[in-house]
Chain A
Amino acid sequence: MPIHDLGYRAWQGRLVPEVFRFWAITVTGIRLAWQNRWLRRIVYVTWLPAIYLSVGFLLYEQFLAKDIPARALKQFITSFPVDDNAVGDDRHGVWSWLLWVFFRYPQGLLMVLVVGLIAPPLISRDVRTRAFLLYFSRPITRLEYLLGKMSVVWVYLVAITTVPALLLYVAAVFLSPDFSVVRETWDLPLRILGATLVLTIPTTLVALAFSSLTSDTRYASFAWFALWAIGWVTYGVAMASLNGTLDDRWTLISPYHTLGRVQSWVFGLERGPLAQPVLPALVELMVLSVVSLAVLVRRISSPMRI
C-alpha cells in the first residue's frame, strides 16, 4: 500500500451545476480528437486562407484609395466583383463576397476533412466499448450526451471558420481608412455567425448520425466522405454533360453546393432579378438535420433496450 493511500474518505463538496455537465464530455472529446496528428496539421493549415484573404481586403482598400487598378484585384482573385469602371462604393458587398469566398471554398473543403477526422469516432467508439452504460448511469440525459458530442465538432468548426472569419473582419476594419466603415458593415459579424450556424448544425448532425450507426469508426468515416464525394461528382458530371447550363435546382444533389447557396444567401449575395430562390436549399438542410437528429436519438437510446 502506498504511503499516500488515505483509504476511503467521504466527499463533501459543491457540485458543478447540472446545465454544465455536458461540458465534461466536450472537453474530453476535444482532447481526444487533438491527439490526432493529422487533425492538428489540418487545423493549422485552415488559418492560411484567412491570411491570404486578408490580402484581398488590403488590395480592395488600396483600390478604393485609387492606389491600384481593378486589374490588380483580378490578378489576385479572377472573380473579384470589381471592375475598372466601378467607383467601388459597394464596400459592404465586396467584404461580404470575400467572407463568403472564405466560408465557401477553402473552409468548406477543409471543414469536410476536419469533421471527417473528429466526428466518426465520437459515438461509434462508445458503441464499441459500451461506454453508454458509464455515461447514462451518471446524472446525464441523452440530450446532454448528444450536446456534449456535438459541441466537440462545433468547437473545432468555430475554430477553423468563425474565429478566422471574425478576425478577418477585424483586420479589414483596421486596413480601411477609418473606423467609420463599421457603420457600413456592422452586420457582417452577425452574418458570419449565421453562416457558421448553417455550416455547423447540418454537418455535425449528419456526421454524428453516421457515427452512431456503427461500432466501426472506419465505416462512419467512409460514409461521411462518400456523402460529399458523391454529391460533388454527380453535380460535376451533370454540369459537364450539360455544358454548364445546369438548372440551379441541381445544386440540391450536392450537399456542398447546397451549403454554398444558403451561405451566399446569409451573406446577402443572392440579390437582384437573377437571384434564385434559396428556400429549397434551406429546406434540404433542415430535412437533413431533422432526419439525422432522429437517427441519433434513436441510436443513442437503443443500446439500453437490450
Chain B
Amino acid sequence: MNVLIRLDRITKDYGPLRALEDVSLALGPGVIGLLGPNGAGKSTLIKILMGLVRLSSGSGEVLGYRLGSQVRRIRARVGYMPEDDCYIAGLSGVEMVRFAARLSGLPSIEAMRRAHEILDFCGVEEERYRMVETYSTGMRQKLKFAQAIVHDPPLLILDEPTAGLDPEEREAMLGRVRLLAQRMGKSVLISTHILPDVQAICDTVVILAKGRVRIVEPLEVLCRPASPVWRVRVFGPPDLLLERIRREGGEVRLEPDGTLALSAANGIAERIWDWARDAGVGIRALAPAKNSLEQIFLEAVREGNHADS
C-alpha cells in the first residue's frame, strides 16, 4: 500500500496532560475520517502532522517526509483548514487567498489568478472583495477551505470543515471534498464530530478516544455486521413474508419500522423473491444491512473509557 501518513508510537504531552499516547497509524490514499469526542486528541494529531506542535516522543512521516525535520516539505504539499476562526485582518477575501498562495510560493500574478479561480470553485461570489472581518461564519469556512486548496496540494487536512454551515452549504462543501477526492485524486483527512459527513464521503475511519487510536478500518468493513444480514422492505404488511421465511427455516426478525432483518445464509437472498411471490408480497427494497456509525463510535469511545478506568 502507498502510505500517505505513517505514525509510529507518537506521544504528546502538554505539561502533565497527555494529549496523545502511543499513536501508531498507517493510512493510505483516500478520504479518511478522523473521529473522536471532545478532547480525544484530534486537533493535536493534526497539528503534529502539520508540524505546528512538537512530538514528545515517537516518529512519523507524511507523504514520505519525516515529521519534525522535513516539516517545510510537508507544509508545501498539504492544504490545512484549521478549525479555529482565523484570518488575516485588513485583507479582502480574495487578497487573503492570494496571500496564502504567495506564502506557498506561487508567483504574484499567478497567485491572484488562482485565488479567483478557487473562490469561484468555493462559491464565494462578490463577497470576495469584502474585508474578511465582515464575513459570516459560513463565509469564513469557505475562505479557509479556499486558502487550503489554492496551491493545489495532494493532501488536504480539514479540521471540522462543515462546522457552522447551513444544510445547503454543508452539502456543497462535502460535494467539493468529494469532487477533489474522486476526480482530482486528492487525499483528504477530515476531522469532524458530524458522523453523517463521514458516512457521506470517507473511505476509512480512524476513531480516537482519550488520546489513543481505538479503531482504524475502512468504512465499508466497519459498517458491515458481524454476520451478514439483509434488510428487506415490502409493500404492505410484512407478516405473510415473515411467516413464510420462518416456515422455510430462515432466521428473521421484524424491526419497529416494518423492515425485515434476515440472516443471510445459504443463498437466502435469491430465494426471497420466490417466497415473496408465493406470499403475494411485493419487495420494495433489498439491501445488505450495515452497522450504524454512531453505534460503532459510541462503543469505541465507551471501550476507551473502560480501558482507562
Contacts and interface: CB of A to CB of B under 8 A. Distances in A.
Interface in B207-253: none
Nearest to A15: B105
A11 B111 CA distance: 10
B102 interface: yes
B107 A5 contact: no
A130 B86 contact: yes
A268 to B, nearest CB: 43
Contact of A24 (B85, B102, B120): B102
**Chain A interface, DSSP helix/strand/loop, else mixed:** loop
B89 A305 contact: no
B53 interface: yes
A134 B147 contact: yes
B302 interface: no
A289 to B, nearest CB: 27
Contacts of A10: 152, 184
B138 to A, nearest CB: 18
25 contacts: A2-B125, A5-B121, A6-B117, A6-B121, A8-B121, A8-B180, A11-B106, A11-B151, A13-B107, A15-B105, A15-B106, A16-B102, A16-B107, A18-B72, A21-B103, A25-B103, A28-B102, A126-B89, A128-B89, A131-B87, A133-B86, A139-B75, A139-B105, A304-B53, A305-B53
B299 interface: no
Contact of B52 (A5, A136, A139): A136
Interface string B74-100: 011010101011111111000100011
A133 B158 CA distance: 13
Nearest to A32: B90
Interface in B112-132: 114, 117-118, 120-121, 125
B66 interface: no
B47 interface: yes
A141 interface: yes
Contacts of B75: 136-140
B105 A18 contact: yes
Contacts of B51: 136
Contact of B86 (A2, A21, A134): A134
User: Interface centre among A21, A128, A129, A132, by most B CB within 10 Å?
Assistant: A129
